[in-house]
Amino acid sequence: MAVAEGVVDRLVYVGADGYTVAVLTTGERSETKIGGTVLHGLQPGETVRVGGEWSKSGTLRVDECERILPATVHAIRRYLGSGLVRGIGRKLADAIVDTFGADTLDVIDREPKRLLEVHQIGRERLAKIISAWADQRAVREVMVFLQGVGVSPALAVRIHRKLGEQSLHVVRNEPYRLVEEVWGIGFATADTIALAAGIPEQSPERMQAAVLHTLQTARSMGGHCFLPVVEVLTHTTAMVEQDEELIRAALHALRRRKKVVQERIGSRDVVFSAHLHQQETMLADNVMRLLGTPSSLPGKPKLDSPELDDTQRQALRMALTNTVSILTGGPGCGKSFTVRHIARTAKSVGAKVTLAAPTGRAARRLSELTGMPAMTVHRMLGRNAEPEDEDGGLFDVHDPMQADLIVVDESSMLDVGLADALVDKIPAGAHLLLVGDVDQLPSVGPGSVLRDLLDVPDIPRTHLSRVYRQGDGSGITANAVSVREGIVPVNNPEFWFVPAEDAKDIAETVVDIATRRLPAAYGIEPGKVQVLCPGRAREVGALHIGRLLQDVLNPHREGDPQYWSDDRAFRVGDRVMPVRNNYDKGRNGVFNGTAGTVTGLSLEDRLLEITLEDGEAVEYDFDELEELAHGYAITVHRSQGSEYPYVVVPLSTSAGMLLLRRNLLYTAITRAKKMVVLVGQPRALRMAVEQTGDRRNTALTWRFIGEDLAAAVLPPLRDNNGQVAAF
């Protein structure tokens, strides 16, 4: 076995499977290229000892990798100057190493106050360095442990950021806590750590973590709020390969711990995670509260308008005479036009009107279409905003909303949690109008709020069906209607299907159309084209196609900084979007699905600056980059509420039957304003048109109408065994 030791100079490539190619500096000028999956998580500046076999191309294929503290002056200088120790950049690293030489790390570790001997270091910077060094040491300890049990050491930073000084204790003694407390770590990873650490296969902790994982998977993959007890038992028992009685005992223990709630819905015993149960029941209670309260709308608005057709006038009367109502309709049917008249009519009698949508792009689009200000629901729920602050929210956590009419567009995107937070703050007597297209995909988060409320007979609703939009985009609208009705769309000047069979050919054709053909044909920038994928994984998924697009549109240039986080390279100019709400960033938080661009990248400070679509610049530490996704190709789910001039969609049966659904294709088509191009297999297109989506497991409607009426209104829960399939 060949052995090499040196400093990681730079990362060349990181694959989706973790395979990493890096350049190792083994002397002042000598470089060695190394590659292997065991290198996953390496960062420039680290010193490693690796072992493996040489390939014919001269790359050392690594089977063993050990992270070690740097020993030579060159290695120490590179380590400190890499930004791995916060507070020390390249120039300061040179000054420290020039002062202490080969003893530098011993000085920082044992006599840190001696750093004051370095001219550029004062007491404030010294405190930062001491704290950062302690963090780095703690992270290294967790890394060593994780590597020893066969888990990627790259997770150590994420664990330490959440658990701090408890990190090593938790991974050694309570690894299943990671599932609940560290975002992005699932049961499989925690289970690998636990079993390697000697925790018994039949331990109560393992069984309880497995039950929670079953519920979490059903929530994240299927949008379900609950699962029947029988499904929890079946899936969890199969996953851990243990006796069902152990799972029953775990379920009982979780009920005692108030982690889950068991409830009888109709004729079924079902299980909720505790927080979803609370959100769903509170949402139902608050909608009932609003429904049961007389309107407090000031004055008597004129409930007629010659500019509206009969159905639109019906919507106007409905919204201004009922405290809760729903307006639905497909593309081009005048929903925004009707909302504008409803809002203006309410304002004419002195009512305070607020327009909102779940995402920034949807809010801006609503504002453009209505000619009135609109904001995101999250911003409206801003925790620190004063009511009189025009740029802030309408209420904070302590004060109710100060509005007479609240209109929420794109309401199909409201999950249970966001809808609960919204309705909880609306005062009695105010009017809530939910506007949306129920044929689109449901929310990314759990629940089917809009569909469920439409099934409540007591909630007034108006459906607009007449299509008004003609001219630009009318071919898109026509095909969207066809898909909604189960008819395969046909080519027209604004809609094209490009056949391709092989997954690789589909991906390459999508990239060529998005970066070359459409821009050349219409004289547009490639940034006007958005690729929407049914899913994230596989060769036609958003991750792979996104990397291909990044390499064409924003390739790495020698000398420009880039940073690898897992298998993703971040560069200045990249399109990105947050995939997790972070209330501590920006003026009012940063929210899932907001579009942004990387405008700054500092390797020394380990910071990425992104400028969001509203112009606000926020910073992400390199340790937080799992909260960001690249935006070159995104899933159709993440496109909800947005519109793009040109949309390209890959379609392949390799995406899986669960993704090729009518509501997904319909949503993708309705995101485009000027042109839609579908690329893929004709049978995949037919499959997407023919397959309707399964209903999510929710009890919101049931909480309004009871089991007798629910049985007549709602479809039964089912799978091949007569039970609900979890995912």
Binding site listing for ATP: 332-336
Structural tokens at position 545: 């196609």
242: number of Cβ within 10 Å = 17
Q: Is 544 exposed, middle or buried (0-12, 13-18, 19+ CB in 10 A)?
A: buried
DSSP 680-715: E-HHHHHHHHHPPPPPP---HHHHHHHHHHHHHHSP
Q: Give the C-alpha separation, 628 to 577, whole Å.
A: 6
How far apart, in Å, do the first and last CA atoms of the chain sit? 45
Pairing of strands 260-265, 633-635: unpaired
CB 641 within 8 A of CB 359: yes
| Binding residue numbers | 332-336
Sign of dihedral through CA atoms 719, 720, 726, 727? negative
* Burial of 430 from C-beta contacts in 10 A (0-12 / 13-18 / 19+): buried
| β-strand partners of 495 | 492, 676
Helices and strands, counts by H and E, the chain:
25, 26
Which residues, other chains included, contact 681 with Cβ-Cβ below 8 Å and sequence gap of 6+? 499, 500, 501, 506, 651, 652, 653
Q: What would the DSSP string read from start to end of 246-312? A: HHHHHHHHHHHTTSEEEEEETTEEEEEEHHHHHHHHHHHHHHHHHHTS----SS------TTS-HHH
- Give per-residue burial for 56-94: e unless 16+ CB within 10 Å, then b: eeebbebeebebeebeebbbbbbbbbbbbbbbbbeebbe
Q: In whole angstroms, what is the distance from residue 619 CA to residue 69 CA?
A: 29
DSSP strands (E only) in 424-578:
431-436, 461-464, 495-499, 529-533, 562-565, 568-571, 575-578
Helices (H), 387-436: 416-424
156: Cβ–Cβ under 8 A, 6 or more apart, which residues? Answer: 139, 140, 142, 143, 146, 167
DSSP secondary structure string for all residues of 195-259: HHTT--TT-HHHHHHHHHHHHHHHHHHH--SEEEHHHHHHHHHHHHT--HHHHHHHHHHHHHTTS
Measured at the CA of 508, the angle between CA 503 and CA 509, to 5 degrees, comes to 95
Q: Are strands 633-635 and 47-54 parallel, antiparallel or unpaired?
A: unpaired
What is the helix (H) or strand (E) element at residue 678, kind and residue range? strand 672-680
- Among residues 320, 385, 384, the alpha carbon closest in space to that of 346 is found at 320
Cα–Cα distances (Å) from 266 to 1, 186, 228, 261, in that order, read 65, 32, 11, 16
Given a contact cutoff of 8 angstroms between Cβ atoms, the answer to whether 261 and 277 are in contact is yes
Rounded to the nearest 5 percent, the helix, strand and coil shares of the chain are 40, 20, 35
- Give yes or no for a contact between 427 and 401, defined as CB atoms under 8 angstroms apart: yes
Tokens representing 96 are: 């420290």
Q: Which residues pair with 647 in a beta bridge?
A: 530, 676
